[in-house]
Each structure stands twice: as structure tokens, then as C-alpha cells.
Amino acid sequence: MRILVLGGDGFCGWPAALHLSQLGHDVGIVDNLSRRRIDEELGTDSLTPIRTPQERLAAWTDATGRTIDFHEVDIAQDYEGFVALLSQTRPEVVVHFAEQRAAPYSMKSPTHKRYTIDNNVNATHNVLSAIVESDLDVHLVHLGTMGVYGYGTAGMRIPEGYLDVKVPGEDPDGNATGELLDQTMLYPTNPGSIYHMTKVLDQHLFAFYAKNDKLRITDLHQGIIWGTHTEETQLDERLINRFDYDGDYGTVLNRFLMQAAVGYPLTVHGTGGQTRAFIHIQDMVRCIAIAVDNPPAGGEKVKIFNQMTETHRVRDLAELICEISGASLELVPNPRQESAENDLYASNRTFLDLGLEPTTLSSGLLQEVEETARRYADRADQSKIPATSLWTEAQAVGAPTRI
Ligand code: NAD
Ligand code: USQ
């Protein structure tokens, strides 16, 4: 199939583009390179030495004989350019990773909040509008987040996108009819940052375009990715994926593994009682391929899959890494506004039923990622490790507790 990967220079988009190309699809990458510019703004860099898009793509051709085209387009700002690209490339599938994805970055200042809303909501709406305008029969696969649900269980497993409810029937005068009526609604949202809020807004845009224009849309509610390499990124060092460890873009498990590798006490926020959903990067690329192969029919509601394989409490992850590596951990004041402790149970039936065999967290795999971090430890700037973006001025008071 002809597939455009929007955001294909990023942490998820790059390995996903390679995997789809390796499977024989005709892949093009669209990216405005904003993530590389944000590194410059923050004075940060990937721990791993990522190459320019041109070097990466030449290395892919050297390693496999396959080609991937690169298109530098800002899909939030250059609507006409994106419509022209769709008409020229005529993709059958568009995989949309192209959003500002860090919760701390989205909460840094009014400017960062406004940028995240403008970029993400415009990007998603432009993609939808451009698909309609180009009159192509495209299956849109979007990367959403488990964070749209909030992080609580309400006494049930979080379903995949929709909640079936029974509503007491009433006649036009408001009198109970005694009937219980079945309704299906999007699971009530409870985003924890401006970034997560953009994914909530995306969901409603998708529901509208699926209903109004019969677009075929799959929204993948993805958990926190961990790991760095996939089978394809390991074919040549020039294909290496990015590894974020700084206080804005580093996600919790990769941060802890990097911190263990450089001898920095693991930065557990608050009591570390937050439970989150996780998925290894190799499984992420497999899920994208499965989603591409299983489109919804036109006129169907948006297909929503929970793209996660396991849940873990942050404190338990930190303790596990300390056991494996001999690192210590610190309970640092939480810069975020979030529940100090939460449980999380979520269904991931759809991917399991479609054949995903999850790569679960094991000490061997954790060591492999820590070794990657140790290999590039001389590139680490430890001054960039602390998380300094505060959700409110009242966050993050007090001194750390070393354990
Ligand atoms: P990333 O920042 O590494 O990659 C995003 C890419 O999109 C970057 O290369 C960036 O330059 C590009 N981009 C952003 N705005 C653009 C625009 N307007 N036009 C063109 N290109 C643009 O992020 P990632 O970790 O690869 O995440 C990709 C997607 O997956 C995001 O939508 C994110 O919300 C979602 N996701 C990520 C994780 C995770 O743990 N990394 C977990 C759940 C969901
Ligand atoms: N945390 C720590 N110490 C750290 C970093 C984080 O204790 O050094 C805690 C945070 O307070 C939070 C949890 O770990 O409770 C997860 O934080 P994170 O930065 O790993 O994840 P999050 O901000 O939720 O965002 C990441 C991705 C985002 C994606 C989301 C999936 O950046 O793109 O949507 O994971 S999910 O969490 O399921 O919403």
C-alpha cells in the first residue's frame, strides 16, 4: 500500500516508517522537523546520535535496497502544501504521529500551551479536511493516548474508547417510563495536561468526520513507549532511533534507565504511586502494521484500540531498576498536578485478538536499554535531567528524599 507517515522523523514515526517499508509498503515521510528545533530551544539533544533525515534515508536504502521519500511540510501551517502532497502521492493510508507530544513541554508557559493547542489541533483538523478535499479513499491511523481517559478505573477496566451505558427513559414531560435505554458514548475524558487535552479534542474531530464525511479512521490510544531499538533501526547505526531523557521529553521508564546508566538517582515524582500503561517500541511498530491491515469500513464509527500491553506503578519500576543496576532513587517533589496514587486496569483485547504477542517488561530487556544508555552516556548533559516544568506555581515544593 502507499502510506504517508506524518511525523516520520520522530521517536515513534521513524521506526514505524522503517517497519512499514520493510513489510513492502511504499512509504513516504512528512515532517516539519519541529522536534529537532525544540531540542535547540531547550538546549537538549537525543542521547543517541541521530542522523539527518537525508542520511537516515540513504542508510535505509543501503541496508535494504528500499527507498522512503521525505517531504518537509508543516501540516499545521501549510494546508495547501499538504493538500498538494496528498494529490501528488495519492496515499491509501495516512499514519498521523505529527503532534507536539510532551506533557511537561505543553505546560511550561502560556506560549507553550498555545503552541501545543495550535499545532496539534490544526495538524489533525488539516489532515481530516485535506483528505476530504483531495477526495481520496484514505484510511487515517492516528496516534492518540491512554491519557485521554485520565488515570482511574471507576471500578471497571477502561474499555477501548467507548462506554456502553443504560439511561433511564423519560417521556416528553420528564416522567420516568421505567425503560432502560442502551447508549454508547466516548468514554468520559479527564486529561492531565494541555498536551493530553489536544488528544481529547482530536477524538471529537475524528467522530465528526467519520459521521459527516464517512472517513475511515482508527485512533490508537497508546500508553508510554519504552525501549529504543526495533529490528529495523538496528540494521545500521545510522538508522538509530532518538532517546529522550530530559525533563520535558524523556518518558519515565527510559529516563530511569538512562539515570541508572549515568549514576543519577532515579527521579520518582511524589510517592511514585502513579500507575501508567506501557508498551515496548517493537510492539508499537507491530501494532501500527496491524492497524493498517484492519481498517474500519466507510460509514462506521471511529475504531479505537488501546495500544498498551501492561500497566505498572512508577515506584515499582524504579525499585526494579535499582535492583538490576544498583542505582538509588529519590522521591522528588512532583512538578505535575496529578493523583498521588492511582490504579489502572485497561482492556487491550483488540490487538491481542488480532495476533499481537506482547513483549513484556523483563530484566533482560531493561538491561538492554540501560546498555544503550550506558553506551552513549558521554553524550548526556545531567543538568537537563531535572523536570522543571510546573503545572501550577504551587507544585514542587520541598526537598527530595533519597532512598
Ligand atoms: P516526537 O516528538 O518524537 O515525534 C513527532 C514528530 O512530528 C516530530 O518529528 C515532529 O517534528 C513532527 N511534527 C510535529 N508537529 C508537526 C507539524 N505541524 N507538521 C509536520 N510534522 C510535525 O513524538 P513521538 O514520541 O514519536 O510521538 C508520536 C505520536 O505518538 C504523538 O502524537 C504522541 O502523542 C503519540 N504518543 C507517543 C508516546 C510516547 O511515549 N512517545 C506515547 C503515546 C502516544
Ligand atoms: N514521572 C516520574 N519521574 C520522572 C518522569 C515521570 O515519576 O522522572 C511520572 C510522572 O509524574 C507521571 C508518569 O511518571 O506520573 C508518566 O510520565 P511520562 O512523562 O512518562 O508520561 P506522560 O507525561 O503521560 O506522557 C507520555 C508521552 C505522551 C503519551 C503518554 C501516554 O510523552 O506522548 O501520550 O506518555 S499516557 O501516559 O498513557 O497518557
pLDDT at 153: 73
pLDDT at 368: 84
pLDDT at 151: 81
pLDDT at 369: 86
pLDDT at 152 exceeding the cut of 80: no
Q: What is the mean pLDDT of residues 24-38?
A: 98
pLDDT at 397 exceeding the cut of 80: no
- Band (403; pLDDT cuts 50, 70, 90): confident
pLDDT at 243 exceeding the cut of 80: yes
Indicate the Cα dihedral angle 352, 321, 259, 245, nearest 10°. 10
pLDDT tens, residue by residue, 342-381 = 999 999 999 999 999 999 898 788 888 888 999 999 999 9
Is-catalytic flag, 199?
A: yes
Look at domain 2-402 and name its CATH class.
alpha beta
pLDDT at 35: 98
Q: What is the mean pLDDT of residues 267-279?
A: 97
pLDDT tens, residue by residue, 176-232 = 999 999 999 999 999 999 999 999 999 999 999 999 999 999 999 999 999 999 999
Asked if this assembly's ipTM is beyond 0.95, the reply is: yes
pLDDT at 86 exceeding the cut of 80: yes
Average pLDDT, the chain: 96
Enumerate residues lining ligand 1, CB below 6 A.
7, 9-13, 31-35, 74-76, 97-101, 119, 123, 143, 145, 222, 224-225, 251
Q: How far is the CA of 390 from the centre of ligand 2 (A)?
A: 14
pLDDT at 402: 75
CA distance readout (Å), 303 to 59, 142, 198, 300: 35, 10, 19, 8
Which atom in ligand 2 lies closest to the alpha carbon of residue 274?
Answer: 15
pLDDT at 52 exceeding the cut of 90: yes
